[in-house]
Every structure is written in structure tokens, then in C-alpha cells.
Amino acid sequence: MPRGIAASPGIAIGPVYILEKEDFCILKYRIKKDEIGTEIKRFEDAVGQSKKQLREIEKKVREKLGKDVAYIFQAHLHILEDPLLIRETIDRIKRERVNVEMALRETYRNFPQKFALVQSEFFQERFRDVEDLGERILRNLLNHPSTSLSNLKEDIIVISSDLSPSDTASLQKDRVLGFATDIGGPTSHTAIMARSLKIPAVVGLGNITKKVKPGSLIILDGNRGIVIVNPTAAQIKKYQKRQEELVLYRKKLETLRSLPPITLDGREVELASNIAGPEEIDLAIKDKTEGVGLYRTEYLYMNRKKLPNEEEQFEAYKKIAEKIAPHSVIIRTLDLGGDKFLSHFPVPREINPFMGWRAIRLSLGKVDIFKTQLRAILRAGFYGKVKLMYPLISGVEELKKANRILSQVKQELRQEKIPFDNKIEVGAMIEVPSAAIMSDLLAKEADFFSLGTNDLIQYTLAVDRINEKVAYLYQPLHPTILRLIHQTIRAAHREDIWVGACGEMASDPLCMAILLGLGIDELSVTPRSLLEIKKVIRGITWEETQKVASHLLNLSTANQVKRHAHNRLGKKIRRILEEE
């Protein structure tokens, strides 16, 4: 029974759909002089076929989703009209006397280097599009149909070596029962998206793509991180029963909706939600969230032709602010890079993307994009309670720099007489160890902190959050993590600012209780966990969590912490969750 990492709870039973993402196997062979004409003809036919497909897709997308989204396919068609890709491939066939598949692949793979020298901005901006297009022509040459997650005819479970956050964001939710991937960790953005979309998922299965066949039946258990291939009738029955129990469990939790998140001894915590888009906000509001503690705005930039302009962002932020009223929404500025990329905004490929040009670093390097977003956020603040926070702050200078740009933007809006919230609260995410260590000084420059524990764990323990091979080292309850969190909360409280936690630790009942004990003021959780977390808060005392947390700070290994936390709090939490 393939075992992986439980990434999103729930059970799915259904047929397998394999989304192939791996490279094509292409042979390189030399052709004879008199074969050159045939190879070129094959290439031209494949290009013609690709154009036809693109025109059809463009038309369909335009009808369904509008001009804006369809533009990407027009851009592909433009590239096909441009002689550069075509001529270069044909020249290569003639010059190197290689088969067309190889000539084409070498051509589009060499684009970044080649056109870095030619001042063709059109191509420089579209390396990823060119790659995509090159693959389409290759598929046509090889008679290898492409797979897509947006036009499904039946309910399926997606199996893939990997899914990018943008694949996940664009999949057809009513058809995808669940997904399982070879790679990935519990806090990869793909896993986070799956939880937000309420799609059961198991990641980091190693080689599930090699163990299943398209169409075969599987059971996917997103709570335990297992996949059962070709289950027996008894197994299907057992899991169907579990599915029913989960529905019932969820129904019972709904009775907590209108009750406040308050511990037995009266400690009130603000319980907000993380969202990536408008869909989740409805789910969170239904479960009576006390605001949005993290709005991951980068999803607004994904699966579209170009960056959203100020007006579009303003409308999106304003809508969320109005919906969430009387509570507030914390809008995080763009957190691109790491495992989140856009097809229309090429970030150079990096060897260590999580350590590279990511989040606030990218915003500070692309000031126009940053300013546009800040203007939209500030303006939305005029119409509702909006707070702003920067991701991946690593030190005081960075925070000051971002705030200087914010002041400039305010000044510009003032001059233009455009209404905005001049007193907007500005927070720093604490998700880099250096920020936690400098939190006493950062607290003087910010109105609040939000702990991004997903990244804080990754950077502190040097464990890639999306690499399943090192997932066993990804330990939220490592003593170092608790110490850094404790240090941050103390530093913030000394400066009279509040601290929230929006990383996945806040959505885990045991970790959440420890965060409470360490003095956290606000929790922002995946909407799906809202009621479960509330149930735990209402079943424990703040005093007991404080006692346990202060003991944990003196332990020396993650195993000791886990054992003690489990014995002193975990067992009780399990009982609370099982209670009627």
C-alpha cells in the first residue's frame, strides 16, 4: 500500500487519471541529405496542427472565460507566426542534419541563452510560453496527446509526478475527487491549495505514477496519507463508511459556528482564516471566521495572461474587505518565487528558488509592480478594514525600505486626491530566522507580526518544504522553532504589538495549543480547520497550555517535545475532538 504524506484530509474513491509531466523520451539521430525535405515537411505539418489546436482552444476559452484569459493562446499563436522559432528549427535540421524532434527541442531549450543577446523583448519575456509551445509541437510530432485538468468529462483522481500551485488552482473542482503526487511536502503550496479547495490529497508518494494505470480504481486517504490501488470490495465498503462518518463529523462541528473561540479559563483568541481567493472566503464566512488573517494575493496573478492592473486588484481587495466586514482582512503583498511562478512573468530559473528572488525581495526589485499592489491595497482600505503585511522580511532594512515605498505611494495618492486608508496597519511576516532573532527591533517598525511557520521551519531547520525525501526532518515541534516563536512573541508584546500565526502550525490542533501557551494573540487557519480548532480552544485552559509550553522550551530534542506535548496535551485534544 503506497504511503506518502497526508496533505489534505478526506477520502476519495475513483478512477485514476494520470497527468503526465515528465519529459518526452526523444531520440537523436542523423538524417541523410535527401531526408531533410521530409523532416521539414513533418515539422510544418506539426506546426499547422498546433495552430489549429490553439485556435480552437483560444475560441473555447474566450467564450467561457473571456478575452483576458484567452490571450495566452493568442500569444502562442503569435510565436508560431514569428519566423524565429520556425526558421531556427528548420536551419538546425539542415545544418546539423538531425531529426526534427531533436532540432525543435534544442531550439526552444536554447532560447534563453540565444535571445538574451538579441534585443527581442517579445521572446525574452516568453521563454516559458515558448517551452510550452515547443512541447505542444513535439506532442503533435510524436502523436502524444496532451493532458489537461480543466476539461474533464468524468470524476477522477489525479495522479502526477508533481502539480504546481497554478495547476492546482486551475483544476476543475467538481471533477477532481482527489490527487496524489510523487513529490511534495505537507506545506508545499500545492498541499495548501488542496486543503483550501477541500480536495483530499496525498503527496510525496515516491513513484505512485509508476504503480497505477490510467482508469484503475484507487482509494485515496488524505487523513492518513495512503493510497490503495485496486481495492477489494471489502476495502471499498470500509472507506465508504469512513466517508459517511466524516460527513457526520463535519455536521456536528457546524454547531460550533456561532460560539466564540475562548478557552475554558476565559482567554479569547482571534480566530481568522487563510484564503487564496474569493471562493474560500465564502466557506470561511459560513463557518463564522473572525476575519482573514492571510490573503495570499499571488493567486490573483496566476492562470491569466498578464499581471492584474491596479483597478482589478482594487476591486478584488475591496470586495473581500466588504464581504468580511465587520472583521478585517490582512492582505499579504505578492509572494512569488519559491514554488509559485507565473507563466506571464518570467523569473529567471534559480538553483535555490526558495533562497532566491522571492516574495518581498522580488517586490523591492520590481517597484512598479509593488507600487501598483500597494495602491490597490491602500485604496481598498478606504472601504473596509484592511491590513497589509509583507512576506519574507529578513531584517530591519528590508522592512524600512518597503515602508518607505509605502509612504511614497500614500503621498502619490494624496496628491491625486484618491481616497485611501492613511492609517493602515502594516505587519511583517516572521518566517525567516533572522527576522525572529531581530524581532525586538522589527517590532519597533511594524504594527503587528504574523508567524509564517511553514517557511520559518524550512529555513531554520534547512529542510526544503516541498522535498519528500527530507520531510522527516520537517519538525514544527523542534525546540529551535518553539524558541524562535517564543522570542518573537515576547519581543512583540514588549513593544505592545500583537502576534498572529498564519502558517500551518495554527491549523494543527496540538501545535495550535502550544502556540496558545506561548502567548499567540491571533490564529489564522485554513478555512477547513476553523471549527475543529475552535472546538479545541473551547475545550482547554490557557493555563495548561502555558504550563506545557514553558516546559517544552527547556527540552532539547524534537522527540522529547513531541512526547511531552502528546502526553500532556495531545491525548486530551484527541478526546476533545472525539467528544459529541
Cell of 5: 504524506
Which residue, among 279, 253, 294, 295, has the nearest Cα to 197 in the 3D structure? 279
Does residue 431 touch Mg ion according to CB under 5 A?
yes
Rank residues 129 and 335 by Cβ distance to ligand PEP and give the closer one: 335
Closest CB to Mg ion among residues 14, 452: 452
Q: How far is the CB of 382 from ligand PEP (least distance, A)?
A: 26
The rounded radius of gyration (Å) of the Cα atoms in the chain is 25
Q: Does residue 40 contact residue 100 with C-beta atoms inside 8 Å?
A: yes
Nearer to ligand PEP, 138 or 506 (CB): 506
The neighbouring-strand residues paired with 217 are 15
Q: Which of 270, 287, 455, 544 binds Mg ion (CB under 5 A)?
A: 455
Minimum CB distance to Mg ion, residue 327 (Å) = 22
Find the shortest distance in angstroms from Cβ 88 to ligand PEP: 39
| Distance in Å, CB of 33 to ligand PEP, minimum | 55
Number of residues that bind Mg ion (CB under 5 A): 3
Of 19, 428, 502, 552, the one binding ligand PEP by CB under 6 A: 502
The binding track of 321-350 with respect to ligand PEP, each residue x by CB under 6 A or -, is --------------x---------------
Closest Cα partner for 410 from 400, 401, 421, 399?
Answer: 421
454 binds ligand PEP (CB under 6 A): yes
Helices within 287-366 (DSSP H only): 310-324, 359-365
Rule CB under 5 A: say whether 504 interacts with Mg ion.
no
160 near ligand PEP, judged by CB under 6 A: no
Residue closer to ligand PEP by CB (options 335, 425) is: 335
Report residue 568 as a C-alpha cell. Answer: 500532556
By CB under 6 A, residue 190 contacts ligand PEP? no
Distance (Å) of CA 435 to CA 154, 210, 432: 48, 42, 5
Residue 508 within binding range of ligand PEP, rule CB under 6 A? no
Q: To the nearest whole angstrom, how small is the minimum distance from the Cβ of residue 475 to Mg ion?
A: 17
Q: Which does 500 bind (CB under 5 to 8 A by kind): ligand PEP, Mg ion, none?
A: none
The Cα 471–Cα 239 span in angstroms is: 27
Helical segments of 66-110, H only: 67-81, 83-96, 100-109
Stretch touching ligand PEP by CB under 6 A, among 106-114, 148-156, 448-456, 556-564: 448-456
User: What is each CA distance from 473 to 286, 464, 559, 578, in whole angstroms?
Assistant: 36, 9, 11, 29
* Closest by Cα among 554, 548, 557 to 519: 548
- Tell which one of 221, 280, 287, 455 touches ligand PEP (CB under 6 A): 455
In this structure, the number of other CB atoms found within 10 A of the CB of residue 269 comes to 22
| Beta strands 176-181; 292-296: pairing state | unpaired
Q: Residue 348 carries which DSSP code?
A: P
Question: Prior bond to 326 cis, omega within 30?
Answer: yes
Residue 431 interacting with ligand PEP (CB under 6 A)? yes
Q: Which three cell numbers stand for residue 31?
A: 538524417
For residues 261 and 268, what is the distance between their CA atoms, to the nearest angstrom?
6
Binding range to ligand PEP, per CB under 6 A, among 93-101, 145-153, 447-455, 507-515: 447-455
Of 86-94, 294-302, 430-438, 466-474, which segment contacts Mg ion by CB under 5 A?
430-438
CA 90, CA 129: separation in Å to the nearest integer? 20
39/398 with CB nearer Mg ion = 398
CB of 485 to ligand PEP, least distance (A): 12
CB-facing half-sphere around the CA of 189: CA atoms within 13 A: 21
Partner whose footprint covers residue 31, from ligand PEP, Mg ion, none (CB < 5 to 8 Å by kind): none
Query: Which residues lie closer than 8 Å to 475 by C-beta, 6 or more apart?
Result: 457, 461, 481, 558
Contacts from 150-156 at CB under 8 Å and sequence distance 24+? Answer: 152/17, 152/176, 154/15, 155/14, 155/15, 156/14, 156/15, 156/16, 156/17
- Which CB sits closer to ligand PEP, 430 or 552? 430
Q: 307 vs 389, which CB is nearer to Mg ion?
A: 389
Q: Is 453 in the site for ligand PEP (CB under 6 A)?
A: yes
Q: Looking at 76-84, 245-253, 369-377, 450-458, which segment touches ligand PEP (CB under 6 A)?
A: 450-458
Candidates 233-241, 431-439, 485-493, 553-561 — which segment interacts with Mg ion by CB under 5 A?
431-439
Locate 359 and state its grid cell.
Answer: 516574495
Q: Which is nearer to ligand PEP, 14 or 337 (CB)?
A: 337
Q: Which residues are catalytic?
A: 189, 502
Does 503 contact ligand PEP by CB under 6 A? yes
Per CB under 6 A, the segment of 170-178, 216-224, 312-320, 451-459 that binds ligand PEP is: 451-459
Binding-site partner at residue 530 among ligand PEP, Mg ion, none, CB < 5 to 8 Å by type: none
Core vs surface per residue 376-406: b (16+ CB within 10 A) or e: bbbbbbbbbbbbbbbbbbbebebbebbeebb
Cα dihedral 525→259→425→385 (10° resolution): 110
Which of ligand PEP, Mg ion, none has residue 381 at its interface (CB below 5 to 8 Å by kind)?
none
- The single-letter DSSP state of residue 125 is T
Q: Determine the size of the site formed for ligand PEP (CB under 6 A).
A: 11
* Other beta carbons within 10 Å of 524: 27
Indicate whether 464 belongs to the interface with ligand PEP (CB under 6 A): no
Q: Which stretch binds ligand PEP (CB under 6 A): 234-242, 446-454, 535-543, 564-572?
A: 446-454
Taking residues 282 to 301 in sequence order and writing x for each that binds ligand PEP by CB under 6 A, - otherwise, the string is ------------x-x-----
Distance in Å, CB of 139 to Mg ion, minimum: 35
The footprint of ligand PEP on residues 346-405 (CB under 6 A) is: none
With CB under 5 A as the contact rule, the residue among 433, 452, 500, 517 that binds Mg ion is: 452
**For residues 180 and 218, what is the distance between their CA atoms, to the nearest angstrom?**
11
User: CA-CA distances (angstroms) from residue 165 to 386, 425, 501?
Assistant: 26, 29, 22
Cβ distance to ligand PEP smaller for residue 273 or 453: 453
- Give the footprint of ligand PEP on this chain (CB under 6 A): 192, 294, 296, 335, 431, 452-455, 502-503
- Give the footprint of Mg ion on this chain (CB under 5 A): 431, 452, 455
